[in-house]
Structure 1
Amino acid sequence: MTKAIRASSGTDALRIEDVPTPTPGPDDVRIRVHAAGLNYTDALLVAGLLPSPAPMFTPGVEVAGVIDAIGSGVSGLRVGQRVVATLPELGGFAEEAIAAASRVVGIADSLAFERAVAVPVLAPTTLLVLRASRLAAGETLFVPSAAGAAGTLLVQLAKRVFGAKVVAGASSEEKRELALGLGADIAVDTSHASWSERVREGTAGRGADVVLLREGGDVPAASLRALGFRGRLVVFGVDNMFDTAFTKEQVGSLLAQNQAVIGVATFSLPEAEVQAAVREVLELVERGVIEPVVSHVVELAEVRRAMHDLRERRTSGKVVVRVRA
C-alpha cells in the first residue's frame, strides 16, 4: 500500500488515504515521488471547474523522484534513476506514481527534487511560447502575471536566453519587485485600468513588440493597446479566454498596425518537441542560467489550503508539494 491524496471533484474535499501500490504497464515506469508540482489545473479539477477522470481521483500532473520499477518495454531508463515526469492522467500527489516512459526525463544528482519539479509543466509553457512569438534580441516583451510560476520563468528566459527587454505586469508592489529582481527592465501595475499606457510610456510610445495574453475579459483590449506596430499578440492558457471576442474595431486596428495574433497550445504539440523543451530548460537550471522560483513548499496535508491560495492568486512563483524528504 502507498499513501495518496484522494479528491472528489466539485466538493473541494481532499484526504490522504492508503491505496494499492500501482504497477507499471509495459511502457511505463513507477516513480517513488519526492516532490510534486501544484498547478492551476489541479485546483480547477478539484473545484469541479474542469472535468475529472473519475468521481474519486488523485490530482498532480508533475513529479520528481526516483524510478523504482520499469515496464517490460521500457529502454533508456533504469531503476534508481532520478527523474522528473509529467502525468496527463494525474496521480502525482502520492508516494508512488505511474508515468509513461516517453514523458520521463532524467535529472542531475546535483539538482534538488523541489527545484526540478518546477520545470516539467512550465518548460513547454514558457520556452515554446517565446519561440512561437519569434521574440528577437533587443525586442520588448510584455509578461503578464510576471510573479507567477510561468511569469517568473518567462522573465528569466526572455532576458537571459532571448536577450529581450522585459516589461513585467503584476498587481502588487511585492510582485513587481520580484519581477524586477529577476531581471525585468520595467514593472507596471496591472491592477490599474491604464496599465497599457504605462507599457507604452516604458517603450518611448512604441508599445511592446510581443505581448503575452492568457486571460479573457477586458484584458485582451488592454493588451492590444500595449502592442506596437508589427507586434505579435501571443495567446496561451485558457483563463477566462472563452469569454473573449475581438471587436471589428480591434480587428481593424490589427490590420492597420500590421499586427499578428499567435495561439500556442502545448498539449497539441508533438510530444518529442515538448520533452525536448523540458530537457533544455532543465539544462539551463543545472547550468545556473535560470532559477525556478519556488515560493512555497507544502506537505501533503497542506495541499487543500495551497490550492485555495493558488486559485485566489495569493502565491508567487511555484508551489511545490513535498511528498517525502
Structure 2
Amino acid sequence: MDELIEHVRIHRQGGAEELEVERIALAPPAAGEVRVRQLAVGVNFLDVYHRSGLYPLAQLPFTPGVEAAGVVEALGSGVTGFSVGQRVAYTGLMGAYAAVRNVPAERLVVVPDGVDPDAVAGALLRGITAHMLFAHVRQLRPGDTVLVHAAAGGLGLVLTQWARALGARVIGTVGNRDKAALALAHGAERVVLYREEDFVAAARDFGGGRGVDHAIDGIGGATLLRTFDAVRPYGMAASVGQAGGSIEPVDLMQIGKSRAIAFSRPSVMQFMTEPALYREGAQATLARLAAGLRVPVGLALPLGRAAEAHAAMETGRTAGAVLLRPDHQKSA
C-alpha cells in the first residue's frame, strides 16, 4: 500500500519561498530498490542553484536535494547486500528532500559503525568532490600549497581537512573572525578576511611569493578571475561553484601567456555518473570520516523549514554543514 510521505518541492524556480511542503504517495520499493527512512538530509548550494533557476530543470514540480543518510526500511526484489535496520547513505541522486524514499541499491553505501549519519549526510557529496579534485583533477602532493575559498563553509572545511591529511598546506578565505577561527581549528594554516585583506597578495606570499599550487574556487563571479592571479605559473585553478555570482566565459588568453596556469571546471555530478568513480569517492569519504574527518553542523532544521536553510546559505549566515531532519511522525 502506498504511504503519504512528507516532501519539499518547488512548482516553479525562484526564491526560497518557492519551497513548499507536500505529502506525496510513495509506492513500495521496486525491483533493485531500497526503501530508506531518512534521518538527515544534506543541504548544498547545488540545491539552491536548482531552486533558483541558475541550473535548468527537466521538469516541474521538482524535489531538491542530492544526499541523505538514513535506515533501511524495506528491500525490493533482487536486492542483496543490505538488511532492514542497516544505516545507509547516498549522494548524487535528485529528490532527497523527503522523509522516506526509494533509492536504487547501487547508489547506497553502508555507513560504518562509529561514523555519525549526520556527518555522512553533511559530507558525502563534499568528500567525493574533494577526492575528485585531489586525486583526479590535480593529484595533490605533500608540501603543496592550496587556496580554499569559503574555508569555513561545508565544502571548505572538508577540502581543508582533506588537503591537510594529504600533507598539503592550506590558506583559506573567510568572511568574519568567527569563521576564521573555525577554519583554523580544522587545519587551515592561514586565513584571510577577504573584506579586509587582499587574498591574492596573501596567497602569493603563502606560496613563497609565486602563488599557490592549487586554488579551489566555489564563489565564481569576479572572484574567479582574481583567483587566477593567486596561482603560481603551471599551477591549477579549479572552479566548483558560483555562490557569489555567475561564471562568465573564460578567455584562454586570461590563463595563458600572462599567467601560464591550468584551469578546470570539473562536475562532481558528472564524476558520479561513472559507478566505479562514485564508489571510489564514497569509500574514500567514509574512510576519511572513520579516520577523524570532522563535520561540524552549523545549522539543522526540520525538513519543512528548508526555505530557511536556503535563505541562510544564500546570505552567508551558515558555517559548516547544513542539515534537514524529517519528522517521521508526519509520515506515519
User: TM-score, structure 1 length as denominator?
Assistant: 0.90
- CA distance in 1 between counterparts of 2:221 and 2:64 reads 28
Give how far 1:122 is off: 1.1
Give how far 1:247 is off: 6.3
Aligned pairs for 1:228-247 (under 5 A) are 228-239=232-243, 240=245, 242-246=247-251
What corresponds to 2:159 in structure 1?
154
Q: Does 1:84 find its partner at 2:89?
A: yes
Aligned pairs for 1:165-244 (under 5 A) are 165-192=169-196, 194-239=198-243, 240=245, 242-244=247-249
Once the two structures are overlaid, the 10-residue window that deviates more, 142-151 or 204-213, is 204-213
What corresponds to 1:6 in structure 2?
9
Closer/same/farther in 2, CA of residues 97 and 53 from structure 1, 3 Å limit: farther
- CA distance in 1 between counterparts of 2:191 and 2:65 reads 32
Paired residues of 2:36 and 2:103 also in contact (CA < 8 A) = yes
- Correspondent of 1:268 among 264, 267, 270: 270
- CA distance in 1 between counterparts of 2:275 and 2:258 reads 36
Give CA-to-partner distance per residue, 1:157-183, whole Å, 9 cap, x none.
1112x1011111112222122111111
Question: Considering only aligned residues, what root-mean-square deviation do their CA atoms show, in Å?
Answer: 2.1
Paired residues of 2:123 and 2:321 also in contact (CA < 8 A) = no
Once the two structures are overlaid, the 10-residue window that deviates more, 21-30 or 63-72, is 21-30
Closer/same/farther in 2, CA of residues 249 and 268 from structure 1, 3 Å limit: closer
Give how far 1:154 is off: 0.4
Give how far 1:55 is off: 2.6
- Correspondent of 1:279 among 263, 283, 287: 283
Paired residues of 1:237 and 1:265 also in contact (CA < 8 A) = no
- CA distance in 2 between counterparts of 1:100 and 1:22 reads 14
Give CA-to-partner distance per residue, 1:64-112, whole Å, 9 cap, x none.
111112222322222221100125231x222211211111000124333
Give how far 1:193 is off: 7.2
Paired residues of 1:124 and 1:277 also in contact (CA < 8 A) = yes
Unpaired stretches in structure 2, ≥5 consecutive residues: none
- CA distance in 1 between counterparts of 2:247 and 2:238 reads 15
Give how far 1:121 is off: 1.2
Unpaired stretches in structure 1, ≥5 consecutive residues: none
- CA distance in 1 between counterparts of 2:143 and 2:115 reads 32
What corresponds to 2:34 in structure 1?
29
- CA distance in 2 between counterparts of 1:213 and 1:15 reads 31
Question: For residue 221 of structure 2, what is the amino acid of its counterpart?
Answer: G
Aligned residue pair count? 319
- CA distance in 2 between counterparts of 1:266 and 1:247 reads 23
Per the alignment, in what secondary structure is the counterpart of residue 250 of structure 2? coil
Per the alignment, in what secondary structure is the counterpart of residue 291 of structure 1? coil
- CA distance in 1 between counterparts of 2:323 and 2:239 reads 26
- CA distance in 1 between counterparts of 2:201 and 2:116 reads 41
Give CA-to-partner distance per residue, 1:239-279, whole Å, 9 cap, x none.
54541423635421234xxx322342222222221222112
Paired residues of 1:8 and 1:46 also in contact (CA < 8 A) = no
Aligned pairs for 1:310-325 (under 5 A) are 310-324=313-327
Closer/same/farther in 2, CA of residues 10 and 123 from structure 1, 3 Å limit: same
Q: Does 1:123 find its partner at 2:152?
A: no
Paired residues of 1:133 and 1:262 also in contact (CA < 8 A) = no
- CA distance in 2 between counterparts of 1:212 and 1:13 reads 31
Q: Does 1:254 find its partner at 2:259?
A: yes
- CA distance in 2 between counterparts of 1:84 and 1:7 reads 24
State the percentage of identical aligned residues. Answer: 27
What corresponds to 1:60 in structure 2?
65
Q: Does 1:295 find its partner at 2:298?
A: yes
Paired residues of 2:220 and 2:239 also in contact (CA < 8 A) = no
Per the alignment, in what secondary structure is the counterpart of residue 89 of structure 2? strand
Give how far 1:142 is off: 0.7
User: TM-score, structure 2 length as denominator?
Assistant: 0.88
- CA distance in 2 between counterparts of 1:266 and 1:87 reads 8
Give how far 1:48 is off: 3.2
Closer/same/farther in 2, CA of residues 66 and 266 from structure 1, 3 Å limit: same
